[in-house]
Structure 1
């Protein structure tokens, strides 16, 4: 019996017929679904291969270790969220206020649809894996919150009058916003509150830091 296409790919027999980035994405998407369905402990080469509909050998060809495809999955989630942020900002236009920009970013972090729900679950699982010492270090999970803090802090600085000498601290306020939004996201997953109440709390938080919106 001849080798399947994915087996020939893993053996290096059909390198020109495959988009390697697309194949890697097929695998990391499968990792996400396995995590959502059974947590990190459910992730193995076998379960990922079965979910992706390819051979174990092919998963091993693209990712030599479980840690490799876990970290690639983590990166893919952050890249997807980042791409949505950019789309939202582009849609807002050049005249968007700092508040509108921050609101757009925070809204993308809440599990308000299936894709965002999956991302919140996956990132949460990675965070708990780092806490529990399950092969992922805490440092490797910090890229997403650090990026969020940087984005929000930059927008908060933009909102401050250039001659302001008030008590505002954009970096610390951005940390508060990031932590609060993470809590809201996980609360929604657990059924604590609704999408409407979470969005209302985002507005309340922005009121506290930026001042109530006029008009």
Structure 2
């Protein structure tokens, strides 16, 4: 009796192999041959599921972002419905930091995608790389409004600022010396940014 194949599982095995290859050698290292060797399958099988390199790169980029979204959701759900906005933001932004092997690999892979998009290649383009940042800004803005009130000014700009600061911290955390400081730096960012912005504050009394 022929063995049934779960096609989504097979596609996932291939994109996992792409992630491993890219973490070692960048986007250019991810070829049909290298991915097939990493996955332990034939080149023809990779081509069956992904007809072009661009197709398996797009699927891999999407898989990295989807995995991160699942982790965020699980961490926030574990806090409970009454979690403070700062606690929710802490678990979400900490989950971005490359503090273990899996998250470090994903950070290197996303960096490789971003670098490829900046060079204007055909395999991965700038428009392909925008799927992760905007949802992050929206989530941060949501929790800022919970902290400051639904009509507080400057929330969207501050959400952008926190997101960009976090992206910078993620890159810096690839260095072991910074990794030890990263959680404290996030807390410092929260101290500065989760309080009401100066224009939100009540005017001083005479």
1:58 aligns with 2:45: yes
Of the three residues 66, 91, 103, the one matched with 1:79 is: 66
Report the Cα distance in structure 2 between the residues aligned to 1:32 and 1:137, rounded to whole angstroms: 18
2:191 paired with 1:204? no
1:17 aligns with 2:9: no
Correspondence for 2:148:
160
Q: Provide the aligned C-alpha RMSD in A.
A: 1.6
Please report how far the alpha carbon of residue 191 of structure 1 lies from its aligned counterpart in structure 2 after TM superposition.
3.9
TM-score normalised by L of structure 2: 0.90
Instruction: Flag structure 1 segments of 5+ consecutive residues without an equivalent.
Output: 1-13
Aligned residues of 2:97 and 2:170 also touching (Cα < 8 A): yes
Report the alpha carbon displacement of residue 183 of structure 1 after superposing the two structures with TM: 0.8
- 1:67 partnered with 2:41: no
Distance 1:58 1:83 in 2: 28
Once residues 64 and 41 of structure 1 are traced to their aligned partners in structure 2, the CA distance between those partners, rounded to angstroms, is 17
- Which residue number in structure 2 is paired with residue 5 of structure 1? none
1:1-215 aligned at under 5 Å gives the runs 17-135=4-122, 136-161=124-149, 168-191=153-176, 193-195=178-180, 197-211=181-195
Cα separation, 1, equivalents of 2:121 and 2:186: 33
2:189 & 2:105 partners in 1: Cα distance? 25
TM-superposition CA deviations, 1:61-108 (whole Å, max 9, x none): 000000000000000000100000011011100110111111111001
Instruction: Quote the offset at 1:200 in angstroms.
Output: 0.9
Q: List, as ranges, runs of 4+ consecutive aligned residues in structure 1 with deviation greater than 6 Å.
A: none
Q: Give distance in 2, aligned partners of 1:103 and 1:57.
A: 44
Instruction: Tell me how far apart the structure 2 counterparts of residues 191 and 138 of structure 1 sit (CA, whole Å).
Output: 29
Q: Deviation per CA, 1:114-146: give whole Å up to 9, x if none.
A: 111111111111011000112211121111011
Alpha-carbon distance in 1 for matches of 2:173, 2:31:
28
Query: Aligned residue for 2:200?
Result: none
Q: Deviations over 1:143-163 (max 9, x none)?
A: 10111011111111111135x
